[in-house]
Copies of this chain bind each other. A is one copy, B any other.
Amino acid sequence: MQSTVQKHGVAAQMAVRPAAGTRRAFAAPAQASIARPSFAKRMQRGMTASRVESQRVVVVRAADDKVVVIGLAADSGCGKSTFMRRVTGIFGGEPKPPAGGNPDSNTLISDMTTVICLDDYHSLDRNGRKEAGVTALAPESQAFDLMYEQVKALKEGKSVQKPIYNHVTGLLDPAEEIASPKILIIEGLHPFYDDRVNELVDFRIYLDISDETKFAWKIQRDMAERGHSLESIKASIEARKPDFDAYIDPQKKKADMIIQVLPTQLVPDEKEGKILRVRLIMKDGKKLFDPVYLFDQGSTLSWIPCGRKLTCSFPGIKMFYGPDTYYGEEVSVLEMDGQFDKLEELIYMESHLSNTSAKFYGEITQQMLKNSSFPGSNNGTGLFQTIVGLKVREVYERITQKEVVPV
């Protein structure tokens, strides 16, 4: 890693310092052995990396001080912030921008989690992009070296001075200090694009909104609420598409879990994007999490829970579960088409899912109720975002061997 850093010559850009008042510890004695070889391997790797590092900064991390890095990739305007509120909500506390800092900060900090927006690593501001003739989606607009150095530093327990991309002004604002959290979530357009950054990520999530749904949502927001014309909306989508397809979309192949949002199949010609078919694609055989399943692991199932015991209003709910391949890798797919109408429908659904990583019966329902004002709370986006949040907790617990008390 050291050589990679030098090869890319980013040391000069780095803004790294040891975290305030923490972590000048030595490697902790090996913990009570748990039969998870990959975890042991990860620990070894982590400690080796720290020892190389320690030639410079003398920070050797104890195993139980590990910072877990979560990546969320998605296009702009696809509900990443709602997603993040669902995920961080599982760890408790209200995520807030850094106290007393830039009011336009994109960072959200709670007790255990810090969410940073990768737009902060734009190397070009709005004018700069205009002059250079590049979009915000292009790799040329991103400071990947700095992104790598700072994510690496945060993972090593150090604080960083992270720049701020001001979405209001389109300018790069002065940096803000970010302390190393327990769980670092990097969300944005390119969390897995740069191999060095990608390798720092412990759990990769991709939010994949279908073109039809994106279009329906954009019409809803930009036409109905902001008065844009249909033509201008189409034009703006078309303009983004080549770079999106070239740089953003391919990252989904690297993701551990993909949430796919598609038009419903329950209602013919539903064009408003309100009733959704949502698929949770989960890589199989990963050591840090177990895929959720419905009724019978490894088989293929479709399930319409609405019937004699559970009555639902039109169009009801249809679930699907089954194995599949995703870009050559084995995955499990859980799908929900339709929407919840009543609380009992949600509880019923939850009660038939296995390996959700919920810590008690009804935890998913409880989380969904807590966040019931968020968009997507009555459909598969909310359900699967909540499940992914529980998987983030599972990943954290497996890496750190610490237990998170449910809130």
Using CB atoms, name the residue of chain B closest to A330: B308
A308 near B301 (CB under 8 angstroms)?
A: no
B301 near A297 (CB under 8 angstroms)?
A: no
A303 near B300 (CB under 8 angstroms)?
A: yes
Check A89 for interface membership: any CB of B closer than 8 A: no
CB distance from A53 to the nearest CB of B (A): 41
Check A286 for interface membership: any CB of B closer than 8 A: no
CB neighbours (8 Å) of A303 from chain B are 295-296, 299-301
CB distance from A402 to the nearest CB of B (A): 31
- A 289-307 contacts with B by CB, 8 A: 295-307
Select A298's contact among B284, B309, B322, B352, beta carbons within 8 Å: B309
Residues of chain A at interface, number, CB under 8 A: 21
Q: Whole-angstrom distance between the alpha carbons of A323 and B305 in the complex?
A: 11
Check A310 for interface membership: any CB of B closer than 8 A: yes
Using CB atoms, name the residue of chain B closest to A320: B302
CB distance from A334 to the nearest CB of B (A): 14
Interface flags for A271-291 (1: CB within 8 Å of B; 0: not) read: 000000000000010000000
Interface flags for A298-335 (1: CB within 8 Å of B; 0: not) read: 11111111111110000000000011000000100000
A323 near B297 (CB under 8 angstroms)?
A: no
CB neighbours (8 Å) of A299 from chain B are 303-310
CB neighbours (8 Å) of A307 from chain B are 298-300, 322-323
Q: Whole-angstrom distance between the alpha carbons of A301 and B296 in the complex?
A: 12
**Can you offer 11 A-B residue contacts whose CB atoms are under 8 A?**
A284-B308, A295-B295, A295-B296, A296-B303, A296-B309, A298-B310, A299-B307, A301-B303, A301-B304, A307-B322, A308-B330
6 more A-B contacts (CB under 8 A) besides A298-B307, A299-B304, A301-B304?
A299-B308, A299-B310, A301-B302, A304-B322, A307-B322, A308-B330
